[in-house]
Amino acid sequence: MKTHEQFADDLALYALEELTGSDRQELEQHMETCATCRREVQFLRSDLSLLALSSAGPRPPARSKDRLMRAVAAEPRGASAPSPLQVRRRGLSWALVPAVLALGLLVWAGTLWQKNDALQHNLSSLAVLYKATNSQLQQANERLRLLSAPDAVQVSLSPQSEPRKPHATAIYSPSQKRLMLMASGLAPVPHGKAYCLWLIPMEGAPMPAGMFWPDEHGNAMMMDHTMPEGVIAKAFAVTVEDEAGSDKPTSPVLIVGSGL
Amino acid sequence: MEPMDKSPGTRTDAGDDMRRVARLRAGDQQALSELYDRYSSVVYGVALRILQDTGAAEDLLQDIFLQLWRKPDAFDSSRGSLGAWLAVIARNRSIDRLRQRRPESDIEDCVIASSTDLRDETERSLVIEKVRVVMNEMSPDQRTAMELAFFEGLTHTEIAEKTGEPLGTIKTRIRSGLQMLRARFST
């Protein structure tokens, strides 16, 4: 069984998608419960994105975009409206009637097609608006579910001995495995350091529950943090740690609050 | 541990990308067109550098934006830059194609914590220039190890064999190179 430190050696390989087979599976299992490693992988990917940018510059030919948009148009999501091609096919069948009548009918069909097109356009716009609103509503509902969950615990953390009077409120739902934190009155942290929230479970050692940095006003917020399943919080505490994260608190507790 | 961006303003800066992604979820093709205009050169540049073939790079560009269209939720917009995420996806998929292998993971699994703003062409140019400066400051051996791992998709073992250096040295060079990049962009 590898230790956390041994897994840490594999993180860059994982971010580079070099890690395969059982090594990859072992690391992924470890990351399910190790927030520090998950966070480091996310940061390593960010480092890799910078490296990728060193090759940015050439623009793709214009035909690439045409090709993409044609492909997208060929697979619209949601209810598909009759395509102009289908409408034209319908119109073409009238070409079999005598020329004058066909011409008149084609003009009439063309008018209908334009009206249909305008209606379809309006309908699409409304559908887009509806779906966007619905998506925002769903996100808001998810947050409300956490705040109103019967087992949601709201914890106020107060200063132990700090004159700056930092304050934080953590809201945690074991059933939803989600955690939110709102903090204020925080002093700036030195370069390379970050505030670390610790979840102190009913049994066992404190678990890192997220790193955060205050803004210029000393405020910080951590939304929708995911925690492992089945962890019941006895208390929460905040310390200052290296920004790369830590498995256990290495500095004095700044603020602490009971979850019971 | 889900990180927060160090810069509180970042989420606001990325707001219009998030709105475009929300429109993508709603099936808005215009949103895809706008995101393509903004980020296609990032994706194409990475793919071209790795694949060394304009046709293959165009195919990859097409695939990635089609994936974004089909799975807009794959990008976790609460965690920062869409441009950085696309750059990493482009790199990984290009390497998969180069090595003719199946992807190790789906794009949903690629969660990235990036506060680098790449939306604006000018900002992007500054970032690119800074990356190039940092790369030039690295020793030739370190730069070579980084480029072989990142742009040629060689494993650490393959790099060690190719350069004749011990495996541990290669691992250290790549890790410290990434740390150097991170340090420069966090100041």
pLDDT tens by residue, chain B, 187 residues: 333 333 323 333 456 788 888 888 888 999 999 999 989 998 999 999 999 999 999 999 999 999 999 988 888 766 668 888 898 899 989 998 988 766 666 666 676 666 666 666 777 788 888 888 888 889 999 999 999 999 888 888 899 999 999 988 998 898 888 888 888 887 6
Q: What is the structure's pLDDT at B117? A: 65
Q: Classify the complex by whether its ipTM is higher than 0.90, answering yes or no.
A: no
Measured between alpha carbons, how far is B69 from B29 in angstroms, rounded to an integer?
A: 8
Mean pLDDT of A127-139: 65
In chain A, residues with a C-beta closer than 8 Å to the C-beta of B179 are: 47
**B8: CB partners within 8 A, 6+ apart:** A215, A216
User: Chain centroid to CA A200: how far?
Assistant: 26
The 8 Å CB, 24+ separation contacts for B122-129 are: B124/A53, B124/A56, B124/B42, B124/B83, B127/A50, B127/A53, B128/A53, B128/A54, B128/A56, B128/A57
Q: What is the structure's pLDDT at A68? A: 93
Mean pLDDT of A164-171: 83
Measured between alpha carbons, how far is B34 from A69 in angstroms, rounded to an integer?
A: 11
In chain A, residues with a C-beta closer than 8 Å to the C-beta of B84 are: 45-46, 49-50
Q: Specify the DSSP class assigned to residue A197.
A: E
Q: What is the structure's pLDDT at B3? A: 38
Mean pLDDT of chain A: 76
User: Which residue has better confidence, A173 or B27?
Assistant: B27
Task: Tell me which of A32, A45, A139 to substitute to probe the interface with B (most B C-beta atoms closer than 10 Å).
Answer: A45
Q: What is the structure's pLDDT at B179? A: 86
Q: What is the structure's pLDDT at A125? A: 56
Q: What is the structure's pLDDT at B2? A: 36
B44, two tokens: 């194409």
A37, two tokens: 């490693």
pLDDT band at A78 (very low <50, low <70, confident <90, very high): very low
Q: What is the structure's pLDDT at A222? A: 80
Mean pLDDT of A219-243: 82
**Cα dihedral: A159, A162, A167, A171 (round 10):** -50
In chain B, residues with a C-beta closer than 8 Å to the C-beta of A49 are: 81, 83-85, 87-88, 112, 114, 116
Q: B15 CB near a chain A CB, below 8 Å?
A: no
Measured between alpha carbons, how far is A164 from A53 in angstroms, rounded to an integer?
A: 42
Strand ranges (E), A73-166: 153-159
In chain A, residues with a C-beta closer than 8 Å to the C-beta of B118 are: 53
Q: B110 CB near a chain A CB, below 8 Å?
A: yes
Q: What is the structure's pLDDT at A191? A: 82
Q: What is the structure's pLDDT at A63? A: 92
Sign of CA dihedral A55, A59, A63, A64: positive
User: Chain centroid to CA A25: how far?
Assistant: 23
Q: Specify the DSSP class assigned to residue A64.
A: H
Least confident of A130-134, A216-220, B43-47: A130-134
Measured between alpha carbons, how far is A39 from B113 in angstroms, rounded to an integer?
A: 8
Least confident of A74-78, A245-249, B6-10: B6-10
Contact A17 B105 (CB under 8 A): yes
Task: Tell me which of A54, A143, A181, A246 to substitute to probe the interface with B (most B C-beta atoms closer than 10 Å).
Answer: A54
Q: What is the structure's pLDDT at B46? A: 92
